[in-house]
Copies of this chain bind each other. A is one copy, B any other.
Amino acid sequence: MTLGFHWLATASGCDPAKIRDRERVREVLDRLGPTLGLTAVGGPAVHVNDDGSLVGFVLLAESHASMHVPPQGDGFLADVFSCVSFDAEVAAELLVDAFGGNLQGRIVER
C-alpha cells in the first residue's frame, strides 16, 4: 500500500545569490504547498548556518516540503512529501522560476 509520494529533487546551475536569499527561499516554500494544492499548517522556517548553507521547511497537512542549500556552489536539494499525489512538474517549475538552473527529480512511493 502506498502511504505517500516523496519527490526528491536536485537542482544545479542556479543563481548562487538567489538560492542563498533567505527571504526568497521563505517565500518560495510559502507558495509551494498551495501551488501544488496542498495545505500549509506550519512555517515556513528558514535557517542560515554560519557556513552560509541554508535549510528551510514548511509543514503541510499532507506532510512537508523542504530545501537544503549547501554552503558553496549553484545547486540545492528539495523534497516534497505528501500522502496524496501531486504534480511534481509544477513544483519543479516553481523552483526553476525562482532560482534559475535546472532540476532533476524522482518520486519515491512510500
Binding site for B on A (CB under 8 A): 3-4, 6, 8, 10, 41-43, 45, 47, 49, 53, 55-57, 59-64, 66, 68, 70, 75, 77, 79, 81, 83, 108, 110
Contact = CB atoms under 8 A, between A and B. Distances in A.
**What is the copy number of this chain in the assembly?**
2
Contacts of A55: 41, 59-64
B42 A75 contact: no
B77 A4 contact: yes
Interface of A is mostly: strand
B8 A110 contact: yes
B68 A66 contact: no
Contact of A53 (B66, B79, B83): B83
A69 to B, nearest CB: 10
A20 to B, nearest CB: 15
